[in-house]
Amino acid sequence: MVSSNDVQCLFLQAVLSRRVMTREVALKLWEKCIDAVKAANDALDIEFNGDRNSWDNFVTQINEALNPLNMDFAQMSDEITGKEMCALVNRKGDEVAQLATEYSALEIAYFKAVLHQIMTAPNEAFCITSMAALRETNNLNITKSQAEVVLSSFVAKGWLVKSRRGRYSLAMRTMIELLPYLRSTYPNNIIECTICMEVVTRGVSCYTNNCHTHLHAHCFEKYRKRSQNCPTCQANWSTEANSKKLERIGEAAYKEGQDVRRRRPLQDRPESDEEDEEAEAGASQPSQPSQPSQPSRSQAKKKRAVREDSMDIDEDEPEPEPPKAQKRKSRR
- Hey, where are the domains in the chain? 5-69, 95-185, 203-253
56-87 pLDDT per residue, tens: 999 999 999 998 888 889 999 999 889 999 99
Q: Whole-number mean pLDDT of the chain? A: 80
> What is the pLDDT, as a whole number, of residue 314?
42
Q: Which of 274, 272, 292 is nearest to 282 (CA)?
A: 274
Strand order in the sheet with 247-249: 214-216, 203-205, 247-249
Q: Mean pLDDT highest for which of 88-92, 97-101, 249-253?
A: 249-253
Cα–Cα distance for residue pair 13/18, rounded to 1 Å: 9
Q: Which of 61, 62, 87, 93 is nearest to 75 (CA)?
A: 87
Cα–Cα distance for residue pair 308/303, rounded to 1 Å: 9
> What is the pLDDT, as a whole number, of residue 97?
59
| % of the chain exceeding 90 in pLDDT | 51
pLDDT band at 322 (very low <50, low <70, confident <90, very high): low
Cβ-based neighbour number of residue 218 at 10 Å:
20
Please check the confidence at residue 161 and state whether its pLDDT lies above 90: yes
Judge whether 217 and 238 are in contact, CB under 8 Å.
no
The dihedral formed by the CA atoms of 325, 326, 329 and 330, expressed in degrees to the nearest 10: 10
Q: Residue 18 carries which side chain, given as an amino acid letter?
A: R
The dotted CATH code for 95-185 is 1.10.10.10
Cα–Cα distance for residue pair 238/40, rounded to 1 Å: 59
pLDDT band at 260 (very low <50, low <70, confident <90, very high): low
| % of the chain exceeding 70 in pLDDT | 75
pLDDT band at 262 (very low <50, low <70, confident <90, very high): low
92-146 pLDDT per residue, tens: 655 565 565 678 889 999 999 999 999 999 999 999 999 999 999 988 989 999 9
